[in-house]
Structure 1
């Protein structure tokens, strides 16, 4: 199963669970006014800018190439996954992440392919600092929709900074393993990564919008439930 098909299966499974449960407790949403405005902004950005670009890119660039690009970006986030698994005491997962990185960076040609999974059955263990904080009981805080990034909450938004310090694609003057030479290059690379990701998840957002009576709370509840599920795992 390739990266695009696997993403579709995982998304469908989660949405099925979400639709069956729909038992999220009513929480205070003090930023709802701002969040609705930002949701509309992000929705417009997606519909009129990102989606047309991604569709053109998807038409021109073959799926295998786009999947390899996605694999590359996933591979370079090894430091973030390794550290956060370690911080949560998941030593076996940290070791497997190291094995995955070494295999995919060599046999997988700089992470363009994922032989660690297809040949050695080493599954990725995706962890970030927001999950680490949640693991230790830090609450999510109020929901907040970030420009360009989309749904988040106070805990996860604050976690973007430490995660960024471990991301080689985010330029840092004090770090020796940057793959970009400036903050501007980091932004361009992030934009390209977003377009590539959208091309691999073609139609998913449109499906969510079609199912939503009110887009903002629908996306909010999906995000919060998904993050709770990730933390428990």
Structure 2
């Protein structure tokens, strides 16, 4: 397998590395935003009225600006080039992962992220090639929102930000730190910095074009619930909790699976 082939398409609910939630709400949507209010309110979304209005605004921006550009980008850009672009920005995000891993008391993950950055930045020609993954060196992505969760901010209210998409109050608080840990922030040339940010947005949006078909029902609720579940998964490092059926308290015997009350003689009278 070539290093160019290691780029994974961004998941619908993934908080994109190198983009502090930029337009994630838009990245998986197409068409008009639904204004239907869910009958069952989500306790994590007490500001749903406000959030839906911002979601609709973001959706219009995506429909008339970001999505058409992303479609054109994917049409004219060869797949290896798109993969290299994605690898480049993902590699820059390893710096943020390493710093937040240290803040969370995860030195092993920080070391893996640092190794990935050094290998891909050198052997991988500035991160265009993902040799670290070929070497089976992987690290869990970390950001400052996850760090705040580790420090005790467990639950947080859902919040849709103008232009920035789905977030939580906790993750929004962590945005300045995430920006400070992202190398593109320190590019002196304004034109280069803006161009890199725009390219990253377009590349991520292009990678999500095929995932729009996953959305079902009320798109606002679908994206909100998927985002919150994804963030919880990331904060807990993939731990889904104990399996209740694996608990010792469940003690079954043969009678629990018997055919009580069923007459074994099925012959007609």
TM value normalised by structure 2? 0.71
Contact 1:140 1:156 in 2 (8 A): no
Q: Does 1:199 align with 2:206?
A: yes
Q: Which runs of 5+ in 1 are unaligned?
A: 13-24, 171-177
Cα distance, 1:161–1:101 mapped onto 2, change above 3 Å: same
Q: Secondary structure at the match of 1:127?
A: coil
In the TM superposition, 1:94-173 aligns within 5 A as 94-118=110-134, 120-170=135-185
Task: Answer whether contact 1:67 1:200 (CA < 8 A) is retained.
Answer: no
User: Where does residue 226 of structure 1 map in the other structure?
Assistant: 230
Q: Distance in 1 between matches of 2:91 and 2:112?
A: 13
**Structure 2 Cα separation of the partners of residues 35 and 77 of structure 1:** 28
The Cα of 1:185 is off from its aligned counterpart by: 4.8
Query: What per-residue deviation string (whole Å, max 9, x for no partner) do you get for residues 161-200 of structure 1?
Result: 0010111112xxxxxxx23423x65344222211011112
Q: Distance in 2 between matches of 1:63 and 1:150?
A: 27
Looking at structure 1, the residues matched to 51 and 195 of structure 2 have their Cα atoms a distance apart, in angstroms, of 26
Q: How does 1:16-27 map to 2 (within 5 A)?
A: 26-27=42-43
2:35 aligned residue: none
Q: Given that residues 143 and 153 in structure 1 are in contact (C-alpha distance below 8 angstroms), is that contact kept between their aligned partners in structure 2? A: yes
2:64 counterpart residue number: 48
Greater Cα radius of gyration, structure 1 or 2: 2
Higher helix share: 1
Aligned length: 208
Q: Distance in 2 between matches of 1:187 and 1:62?
A: 23
Aligned-partner SS, 2:166? strand
How far residue 125 of structure 1 moved from its aligned partner, in angstroms, is 2.1
Q: Equivalent residue for 1:189? A: 196
1:79 to 91, 95, 109: 95
**What is the Cα-based RMSD across aligned positions, in Å?**
2.3
**Aligned equivalents of 1:180 and 1:122: distance in 2?**
32
Q: Is the 8 A contact 2:160 2:166 kept in 1?
A: yes
TM-score, normalised by the number of residues in structure 1: 0.81
Q: C-alpha displacement at 1:3, in angstroms?
A: 4.5
Please identify, of 187-196 and 46-55, the stretch whose mean Cα deviation from structure 2 is larger.
Answer: 187-196
SS of the residue 1:151 aligns to: strand
Structure 1 residues 149 and 87: CA distance shift in structure 2, 3 A: same
